[in-house]
Amino acid sequence: MLDIKLVRDKTDTVIDALEKRGEDTAILSKTLDIENKRRDLLKIVEEQRERRNKLTGEIGKLKKKGEDASSILEDAKKISDEITLKEHKLRELESLASQELLLIPNIPHDSVPVGRDETENIELRAVGKIPEFAFDPRNHWDIGEDTGILDFERASKIAGARFVLYMGAGARLERALINFMLDLHTGEFGYTEIFPPVIVNKEAMTGTGQLPKFENDLFKMENDKKGFYLIPTAEVPVTNIHRNEILNEEDLPVYYAACTPCFRREAGSYGKDTRGLIRQHQFNKVELVKFVKPEDSYDELEALTKNAEEVLKRLGIAYRVVALCTGDLGFAAAKTYDIEIWFPAQGKYREVSSCSNFVDFQARRADIRFKRKGKKGTEFVHTLNGSGLAIGRTLAAVLENFQQEDGSVIIPEVLRPFMGTDRIRP
């Protein structure tokens, strides 16, 4: 969430940010209205509390001396009752104010291109050679079914639409990709491997920004009064590792890498990507998460993106990096690069990674701070994350990019140690 002081003192900046995102600015005036009422009341309550504290102090002294305190006692009771009333009202205002504040999106960084939607995203670089085929390249689901490594029909019997069953070399390929990516990030780029819970509570979801606004995108455990949710990305549990903590300056930066299943309801995407691995209710993803000092976060975003890109370079698949425009930027992000991987059958790039700097937005929600050596007070850390990469989509791209005319698929060099073979055959 945003700093309420910023909303108060630099309202124009926030209005500008909302407009660039294409969001309604009405929420701001509502928030400010509540906030002003809250502050006014807070002032009154604090003054009254001060008076009460003085009175009760005197009562204490008198009682100790064994003297009569009944006259002050009456005053004290009266003011105390007033305070109780006003405190209730104050609590109401506080919760209203924070409810509103939680719905305001982050302010885009100055370097983010202004635009309405994904058509105005900007391609920064395209890397690798787009493969040419002497035949019509086939869709990955056809390849997967013909080689017997993907079974969508049985998955739908077991679970439903938008699920997949990996079998044999398919399951092995999924695992190979996971191991390859995790080994790369932990072994070469300094990330610490994490295996977190994939069920989290409401506080964790609120900390990273999925709640309260995007409840509809999540799977929720109905059978449990605690309100558990299935994670839509490892970002949630991993960022929340340090919720309500104050880190030491010398501990930063912290880099974590985690591979988890991700669960998404995909409500409202009924017509889209109904076939194949692109859009599933459950998929695996290697996620990179960073906690850094504010002055480093934009450099860290570049580095994070490079780390994710390296996976594709080594796999030898063409990709491009695009900068999301203001209208396409996620709720909590200040800046985002998407990495898109080449899909020959569709003849276009599809997203496999989204790398974002959230600056202090998540840190404020989740209360993740750090203390500079020799300085008083604390500051919010900056958090970042990015996929490094989505496994299912990468696997799909491997099948499509390395398919052969005879129906087999050549396994990229870097995966062979994990696969134990250089080819998947029909």
Partner RNA sequence: GGAGAGGUGGCCGAGUGGUCGAAGGCAGCCGCCUGCUAAGCGGUUGUGGGGGUAAAACUUCACCCAGGGUUCGAAUCCCUGCCUCUCCGCCA
3-state secondary structure of 17: helix
For RNA, what does the binding mask look like between residues 369 and 398, x meaning CB under 7 A?
Answer: x-x----xxx--------------------
Measured from the CB of residue 324, what is the shortest distance to RNA in angstroms?
A: 30
**C-alpha span between 32 and 38 (Å, rounded):** 10
**C-alpha span between 312 and 326 (Å, rounded):** 26
Measured from the CB of residue 131, what is the shortest distance to RNA in angstroms?
A: 43
> Does residue 354 carry a catalytic annotation?
yes
| Residue 80 or 408 having the CB closest to RNA | 80
| Residue 136 or 224 having the CB closest to RNA | 224
- Which among 351, 372, 379, 408 is annotated as catalytic? 351
50 lines the binding site for RNA (CB under 7 A): yes
> Does residue 393 carry a catalytic annotation?
yes
3-state secondary structure of 328: coil
Q: Which residue has the tokens 């055959």?
A: 425
39 lines the binding site for RNA (CB under 7 A): yes
For RNA, what does the binding mask look like between residues 61 and 80, x meaning CB under 7 A?
Answer: x-xx--------x--xx--x
**Contact (CB, 8 A) for 304 and 281:** no
Measured from the CB of residue 309, what is the shortest distance to RNA in angstroms?
A: 36
254 lines the binding site for RNA (CB under 7 A): no
Phi, psi of 235 (to 5 degrees): -45, -40
Residues sharing a CB contact under 8 Å with residue 93, sequence separation 6 or more, in sequence order: 34, 37, 38, 41
**Contact (CB, 8 A) for 205 and 229:** yes
Q: Which of 106, 188, 216, 177 is nearest to 412 (CA)?
A: 177
- Which among 297, 354, 356, 387 is annotated as catalytic? 354
**What angle, rounded to 10 degrees, do the helices at 70-101 and 26-65 form?**
160
Measured from the CB of residue 186, what is the shortest distance to RNA in angstroms?
A: 24
Of 60-68, 134-142, 172-180, 287-295, the window that binds RNA (rule: CB under 7 A) is 60-68
| Residue 32 or 59 having the CB closest to RNA | 59
Of 59-67, 112-120, 139-147, 315-323, the window that binds RNA (rule: CB under 7 A) is 59-67
**C-alpha span between 136 and 125 (Å, rounded):** 27
Q: Which residues are catalytic?
A: 264, 279, 351, 354, 393
